[in-house]
Amino acid sequence: MPQTTIHVVFDTNFIYAGGAGRLLSEPATRLMRKFSTNTSPKVRWHLAPMVKSEREYQMIDEAKRLLSTARKAARFMERPLDEFTEDKAPTQVHRIIQKQIKEHGLEEITAS
């Protein structure tokens, strides 16, 4: 008998983590972990391009807010803050997202 496979496509509201460092919310991560240990039914997790783009935008926006706070702290502490700049935020966030997509076993939906 063939194994049943459930395909789950995440919505931005469910995966919203509220910060710059995490692609997925804690409830989404827990759900994925729960089903990763269960062999039946098999669950495949999908990430739509619009959801990924929206989450990336949210994470970049939050990273820029954090950078603003870090700059204020650096001035207060009289220390340089050269390594982190706003123009590097998108690249860093993209790297974080790609790493977490791989770690969580998400499959990106592509146009065919």
* 56: alpha, beta or left? (left if phi > 0; alpha if psi -120 to 50): alpha
How many CB atoms within 10 Å of residue 27?
11
β strands within the chain, DSSP E: 5-9, 42-47, 107-108
The whole-number average pLDDT for the span 89-108 is 93
Tell me which amino acid residue 109 is.
I
- How far, in Å, CA of 71 to CA of 3, rounded? 54
Asked if the model's pLDDT at residue 102 lies above 70, the reply is yes
Closest by Cα among 106, 92, 88, 99 to 32: 106
- pTM: predicted TM-score of the whole model, two decimal places: 0.81
Cis before 41 (ω within 30): yes
Residue range 14-70, pLDDT digits in tens: 889 888 889 999 999 998 988 887 667 889 999 999 999 999 999 999 988 888 887
Contact 31, 74 (CB under 8 A): no
